[in-house]
Amino acid sequence: MRVGKGYGYGKTILVGEHFVVSGNHAIAAGISAKTTCTIERTKGTDYELVDNRLETPGYKKEKAEQMKESLQLIFAAMKIDPKKTPFRITLAGDLVAASGVGASAANCAAIARALSDEFKLKMSDEQINAVAYQGEMGYHGTPSGIDNTAAVFGGLLWYQKGTPPKFEPIQAKTKVEIVLGDTGLVGNTKELVAGVQARRQKDPQAYDKIFKEAEELAIKTKKALEAGDIKTLAACMNRNQELLRMVGVSHSALEELVQIAREEGAPAAKLTGGGGGGLMIALTPGKNLQQKVAKAMQAKGYRTFEAVIG
Ligand code: PMV
């Protein structure tokens, strides 16, 4: 039987998470791990969901309600009514469903692509991205759109929110190994984003200064990537972690992973994505350093994902 098929990439944010929600630039790097989706028509009365993705324990349960909302937003954006044309959504792939790796966006992109395929809508990547953005609203409330854009297009992206968003690929001079360390804790991105915005309103002077520095760091990071300047790239990522700490989205488990990575010789380590748990990223140029850092994190009981960016 023919099925509709789709996919979405995972991502990591190198610099600018949270600040991007208020209009700053951020840089995302797609990773090769993907979420895949198939759509099969059924004789049921509504959609069915079979979620075979690997997960950080508790992730799917924690996100179940947000996922339902997200699916309704995707169906509405695509003008598909599962009560009239019922189908089964099956999710799988090698991207682990965890906070900070763009799992919700990869899932929205994969579902939108598979539905477009099954219902022969011939949607362009831009149209898929617009649908995936709607889907992300179910999870985030006010997403910047960086996650869904990275999930749809992959690669290294220079991103600024907007309607439509502004983004372009970054031509990195060299590839760099990274390790993503998983705290195993599910961060609530929606609450974390709202928290930063609320604290900014209470103390606009201090926060405006932090946001301004974050924008300067994003610009410097882009130039460092284009020049293959790992030292400056690392310095920018480390300073970005300090800014994220200042706006209150780090977590003791993230700090422990950051410390392990730095002690093992990683030139940079920071949280990635929403924070409050979720994932952190360590810059580990060279396969040997990558292995060393990953092993040290694993020895402390953390799961790791190794990838290459650029
Ligand atoms: O936690 P993640 O991987 O979904 O990343 C969220 C990134 C934020 O900047 C915190 C929110 C956003 O919408 O950009």
Ligand 1 atom closest to the Cα of residue 189 is 1
Strand partners, 91: 37, 51
Q: How far does the centroid of ligand 1 lie from the alpha carbon of residue 101, in Å?
A: 9
Name the closest-CA residue to atom 5, ligand 1. Answer: 273
The dihedral region occupied by 232, where left means phi > 0, alpha psi between -120 and 50, and beta the remainder, is alpha
Q: How far does the centroid of ligand 1 lie from the alpha carbon of residue 221, in Å?
A: 18
Tokens found for residue 44: 């049921």
Element (H, E) at 92: strand 87-93
Cα–Cα dist 266/147, whole Å: 25
Q: Are 144 and 20 in contact (CB under 8 A)?
A: yes
Note the pLDDT of residue 239.
98
Q: Give yes or no for residue 276 CB within 6 A of ligand 1.
A: no
> Which residues have CB under 8 Å from 310's CB, separation 6+?
29, 156, 172, 173, 174, 175, 176, 225
Q: Are 54 and 97 in contact (CB under 8 A)?
A: yes
Q: Are 101 and 28 in contact (CB under 8 A)?
A: no
Ligand 1 atom closest to the Cα of residue 278 is 1
Tell me the torsion sign for CA atoms 281, 283, 286, 289: negative
Cα–Cα dist 46/10, whole Å: 28
Cα–Cα dist 86/49, whole Å: 11
Mind listing the pLDDT tens digit of every residue in the chain (310 residues)? 789 999 999 999 999 999 999 999 999 999 989 999 999 999 999 999 999 999 988 999 999 999 999 999 999 999 999 999 999 999 999 999 987 889 999 999 999 999 999 999 999 999 999 999 999 999 988 899 999 999 999 999 999 999 889 999 999 999 999 999 999 998 888 899 999 999 999 999 999 999 999 999 999 999 999 999 999 999 999 999 999 999 999 999 999 999 999 999 999 999 999 999 999 999 999 999 999 999 999 999 999 999 999 8
Q: Are 35 and 107 in contact (CB under 8 A)?
A: yes
Tokens found for residue 62: 């924690």
Predicted TM-score (pTM) of the model is 0.92
Strand partners, 29: 12, 156
Note the pLDDT of residue 294.
98
Q: Give yes or no for residue 136 CB within 6 A of ligand 1.
A: no
b/e map 75-106, b = 16+ CB within 10 Å? bebbebebeeebbbbbbbbebbbbbbbbbbbb
Instruction: Give the angle 119-124-128 at the CA atoms, nearest 5°.
Output: 75
| pLDDT tens column, 166-224 | 999 999 999 999 999 999 998 888 899 999 999 999 999 999 999 999 999 999 999 99
Note the pLDDT of residue 2.
82
Ligand 1 atom closest to the Cα of residue 142 is 13
Neighbours of 171 (CB within 10 A): 10
Q: Give yes or no for residue 144 CB within 6 A of ligand 1.
A: yes
